[in-house]
Amino acid sequence: MKKNIYIWAFMAAITPFAFANGASAQDMVLERFPLDLSSCKGATVSAHFAHGGNDYHCGTRTYSGHKGTDYPPTGAPCTVVAAAPGEVVATADGNYDAQSSADASVNVCCGNGGCSYGNYVRIKQEDGSHVVYAHMKKGSLLVAKGDKVTCGQPLGIQASSGCSTGTHLHFDITPDSNGNNRYDPYVGSCGTLDKTRWVSQGGYCSSYSDIQLPADTCQCKPSCNGKACGDDGCGGQCGTCAPNETCNAGACQCVPQCDGKACGDDGCSGQCGTCGPNETCHEGTCRCVPQCDGKECGDDGCGGQCGSCTDDPSCSGDACASEKICLNNKCVECDTTEAVCEGNTAKKCVDNFYQYTECTGKDTCVDGECVETLECLETDEPTCDGNNIKRCVGGQYELTACGNDQQCIDGTCQDKVAPETPSSPDDPTPGDDPTPGDDPTPGDEPTPGADSDSHVSVQSSADSSCSANLQTGAGNCTPLWMVLAGMLSLLGIRRRRRS
C-alpha cells in the first residue's frame, strides 16, 4: 500500500494532466516533422487542429471538426517519415488515391466508416500514444503491423487517399488507440496544452505560403545500454566514474594509485608492489626490518648494526675479520685467557684481544710473563774482580783468574812488571821516585772515560787505599791506575835503557 501511494504522488508531481488511460501527455514527444523535406520541394500547413472555429494560435487555418494537422507538399509529394520511434500497430493500403488515378469521383470513404484515412500507418509511440499518418499513396507503405520504427524512418509516400481532396499528410495523435481523444500537439493561446508536444514546434503558419514547420531532426537518443560511463552517442555521458576510476568500454575501472609507492594498497583492492621478506610496508615505502634477535651486535641486515660492540661491529656469525673469532656475537681475538710465551714474547689476553710483550734486557719470557732471569748481558764489557776477569756468559757472571805473574787490568790479564831493584820492590815510596807529572808522557796515559765501567770498578776498589799523599789538591784522589801506569812507564823506560 505504501508503495502505491508513493507512485501516485510521483506521477501527480510530474504530470500536468493525465489522460484516461493514465498516459502522461508530458511524455508524448514528437521529435521531428513527419515529412522528409529532402524528398520533395517542401511542405506547409493547410489546416490545423480545430479548437472550435480556431486553430491553436486563435487563427482560422482550420475547419470545424478537424482532429489533426494537414501538411500538403509545396511541390511533388514528400516521403512520410516517423515523427518518433515506436511500433506499427495498424496499417491500411490498397485504397484508391488521387495520385494513382485521375478519377476524382472515386472517394468512397468520406463519412463511410473506417476508410476515411485511406492508406495509413498507425504507430504506437514509446510513451503509449498513437500517431496516425494518413492519406498515403496506394501501395507505397514501407512498414507493416508489428514493425518497430525509428524516428525518421520512411513509412510511405504522400497522396490523397481516403477522405481527402488533395495530396497531403493528415497527422493526428491520441493518447491511446481510442481515437476519441485526439488532441492538438501544438501549444498556443487557443490550444488545450500548456506545453507543446513537439521538440521544436516552430512558428505559426498563417497562410499556405507562410511556411513555419516543426524541426525536422530526430532527437539524439543516448545509447547507454550496459554502459556505466562513456559517450552516450549524443554528446553526453552515460555516467560518471569515481575520481580514481577511468572509463573503459563503458565500464568504470579502478586506476591503481601507485605513484611514488613501492608497496601498499593501490586503491583498487590490489597492491602497488611487494616488499622483500625482511621488509614491511610503511606508507608506500618498503622498510627493512632489522634482524637482531639474539644478537648483541653485528649487521642487522638493513645496513645498520644490531648493537654497540665496539671491538668489531662486523661480527655476525663467522663474519669476523681475519684471525678473530665471533664469540657471543662479539669479534674477539682470544680463544683462551691463558698467558703463553711465543719465543721470547709474552702473549696474554686483555679485553678479548691479545697483547704481545717482547721480553728484552735481562728479561726472558717465563709462563707468558717477562721475568728478570739474567745477572748480566753478553754485551757487557768484561771487568776485573780481584785478579779475575769478570765477564758475562749466558747471562751469568763468570770469573777467570789471571796468572800469578799477571794482573787483571781493565778486564784483561796483563803481565806484571818486576820491581827495578830487588831491595825495594815492596817499598816504592809513593811520591818518591816517580814524580807525578814528571816522566810519564801525557800520551801514554790511559784516557779517562774511555772505558768507564772498568775505570769505575778499579777506582772503587782503590778508593780505600787512596793515600793522602796522592791527593792532588781539592780533596781529589789520584786514581790508582794512574799511579800504576806511571810506575809501569818508568819501569819500561829504565828497562829499555838497561838493555
Select 59 or 222, whichever has its Cβ closest to Zn ion: 59
Cβ 209 to Zn ion, closest distance in Å? Answer: 19
CB 160 within 8 A of CB 106: no
Question: How many chain residues are in contact with Zn ion, going by CB under 5 A?
Answer: 3
Select 86 or 162, whichever has its Cβ closest to Zn ion: 162
Q: What is the distance between the alpha carbons of residues 310 and 76, in angstroms, rounded to a whole number?
A: 109
Give the H/E segment covering residue 13: helix 2-14
CA 134 to chain centroid? 72
CB 124 within 8 A of CB 87: yes
Select 54 or 305, whichever has its Cβ closest to Zn ion: 54
Cβ 167 to Zn ion, closest distance in Å? Answer: 12
Cβ 40 to Zn ion, closest distance in Å? Answer: 18
Per-residue contact flags (x/-) with Zn ion for residues 436 to 455, judged by CB under 5 A: --------------------
- CB atoms near residue 277 (< 10 Å): 6
Map residue 483 onto helix, strand or coil. Answer: helix
Listed ranges 69-77, 205-213, 272-280, 413-421: which one lies at the site for Zn ion (CB under 5 A): 69-77
Q: Which three cell numbers stand for residue 75?
A: 511541390
Listed ranges 33-41, 65-73, 271-279, 293-301: which one lies at the site for Zn ion (CB under 5 A): 65-73
Residues 6 or more apart whose CB falls under 8 angstroms from that of 152 comprise: 32, 36, 81, 82, 218
Give the H/E segment covering residue 87: strand 86-92
Give the H/E segment covering residue 356: strand 353-358
Of the residues 31, 55, 70, 97, which one makes contact with Zn ion according to CB under 5 A? 70
Cβ 66 to Zn ion, closest distance in Å? Answer: 6
Map residue 470 onto helix, strand or coil. Answer: helix
Select 62 or 383, whichever has its Cβ closest to Zn ion: 62
Select 172 or 333, whichever has its Cβ closest to Zn ion: 172
Strands (DSSP E) contained in 213-258 are 245-248, 251-254
Select 70 or 184, whichever has its Cβ closest to Zn ion: 70
CB 205 within 8 A of CB 49: no
**Nearest of 144, 165, 162, 161 to residue 153 by alpha carbon:** 144
Cβ 68 to Zn ion, closest distance in Å? Answer: 5
Q: What amino acid is encoded at 471 in this protein?
A: Q
Place of cell 728484552: 360
Residues 6 or more apart whose CB falls under 8 angstroms from that of 370 comprise: 346, 357, 359, 360, 363, 364
By CB under 5 A, the residues from 161 to 200 that bind Zn ion are 170
Based on the shown chain and the rule CB under 5 A, indicate whether residue 68 belongs to the binding site for Zn ion. yes
User: What is the sign of the dihedral through the CA atoms of 369, 370, 371 and 373?
Assistant: positive
Cβ 154 to Zn ion, closest distance in Å? Answer: 21
Select 96 or 481, whichever has its Cβ closest to Zn ion: 96
Cβ 70 to Zn ion, closest distance in Å? Answer: 4
Select 173 or 258, whichever has its Cβ closest to Zn ion: 173
| DSSP classification of residue 138 | T
Q: What is the distance between the alpha carbons of residues 124 and 115, in angstroms, rounded to a whole number?
A: 19
Select 68 or 382, whichever has its Cβ closest to Zn ion: 68
Cβ 55 to Zn ion, closest distance in Å? Answer: 12
| DSSP classification of residue 320 | P
Strands (DSSP E) contained in 205-250 are 245-248
Select 110 or 418, whichever has its Cβ closest to Zn ion: 110
DSSP letter for each residue of 96-148: -BTTT-S-TT----TTSSTTTT-EEEEEEETTS-EEEEEEEPTT-----TT-E
Cβ 53 to Zn ion, closest distance in Å? Answer: 16
Select 114 or 437, whichever has its Cβ closest to Zn ion: 114
User: What is the sign of the dihedral through the CA atoms of 425, 430, 436 and 442?
Assistant: positive
Listed ranges 70-78, 346-354, 383-391, 406-414: which one lies at the site for Zn ion (CB under 5 A): 70-78
Listed ranges 8-16, 67-75, 116-124, 136-144: which one lies at the site for Zn ion (CB under 5 A): 67-75
Cβ 247 to Zn ion, closest distance in Å? Answer: 49
Cβ 168 to Zn ion, closest distance in Å? Answer: 7
Cβ 219 to Zn ion, closest distance in Å? Answer: 25
300 to 241, 308, 309, 340: CA distances (angstroms): 47, 12, 13, 36
- Helix, strand and coil content of the chain, in percent to the nearest 5, comes to 10, 25, 60
Residues 6 or more apart whose CB falls under 8 angstroms from that of 478 comprise: 436, 466, 470, 471, 472
Residues 6 or more apart whose CB falls under 8 angstroms from that of 447 comprise: none
Listed ranges 21-29, 60-68, 228-236, 447-455: which one lies at the site for Zn ion (CB under 5 A): 60-68
Place of cell 801525557: 442
Based on the shown chain and the rule CB under 5 A, indicate whether residue 347 belongs to the binding site for Zn ion. no
Select 214 or 382, whichever has its Cβ closest to Zn ion: 214
Select 55 or 70, whichever has its Cβ closest to Zn ion: 70
Q: Which residue is nearest to Zn ion (CB)?
A: 170
By CB under 5 A, the residues from 8 to 27 that bind Zn ion are none
Cβ 49 to Zn ion, closest distance in Å? Answer: 9
**In the complex, which residues of this chain contact Zn ion (CB under 5 A)?**
68, 70, 170
